[in-house]
Amino acid sequence: MEIKVLHQIMDWNEDVSEDVRQTLADRHICMINVMGSPGAGKTSLITALIGALKDRFGIGVIEGDIAGQVDADRIAALHIPTVQLNTDGACHIEAMSIQRVLPHLPLDDLDVIFVENIGNLVCPAEFRIGESLRVTLLSIPEGDDKVEKYPLMFTDTDCLVLNKYDMLPYFDFDEERVLSNYETVNPGAPLFRVSSRTGEGMEELAAFIAGRIREAIK
């Protein structure tokens, strides 16, 4: 019985995810699900992308956290419409939560919504939220074994961002190991080497993101 309940929950989330996706498609809005571990640099990356894209697109942000609103405050300070979504202990964001949050954003003014998912390399990979694009971060300080340990996160993503790339000289990080494992689980998927702090690689990543936004909102 417990297995049947689990499948019902997952199926229910997929149904709501499709409803959210269709709602956003009807409004010509691209939603981007940004996933990665705590401290991987998700907020900093979103902030950098806002700087690179704000002159071309209307941008909103949904900040997911278990508690607090520290990251939402950082985004709101950029004068970007922002909603804080606290899960109160849940390890991921579900589609119904996104469905409830959307009316609190000025959707008529938006082309893209960035969703910062809960810091976690397990649960967020399993739950679609109606997104058009999935972006997974792996920061250099986390280590080079994460693709092997958490393959679903890196399999079910549209691109991988090696973040904090400027720190590569200071860590024992086997980049070739990551590239080989990523190619194995997600053949042909793009990978970007980025430092949100120095700006390295941001132009290339922003161009990729902009292209996917245009595809989604046309």
Write down the domain spans for the chain: 2-217
pLDDT higher than threshold 50 for residue 155: yes
Quick: pLDDT tens for 18-32: 999 999 999 999 999
pLDDT of residue 72: 78
Q: How far apart are CA 113 and CA 105, in angstroms?
A: 9
Q: Label residue 5 by pLDDT band (50, 70, 90).
A: very low
User: Which residue type occupies 132?
Assistant: S
Query: pTM (2 decimals)?
Result: 0.92
- Measured at the alpha carbon of residue 93, what is the angle toward residues 89 and 94, in degrees to the nearest 5? 115
pLDDT of residue 51: 96
Mean pLDDT of the chain: 91
Quick: pLDDT tens for 69-116: 888 788 889 999 999 888 777 788 889 989 999 999 999 999 999 999
pLDDT of residue 36: 97
Domain boundaries 2-217, corresponding CATH code:
3.40.50.300
Quick: pLDDT tens for 121-152: 998 998 999 999 999 999 999 999 999 999 99
pLDDT higher than threshold 80 for residue 68: no
* Backbone phi, psi, residue 86, to 5°: -100, 130
102 half-sphere exposure, CB direction, 13 A CA radius? 25
Looking up tokens 């390890």 gives 91
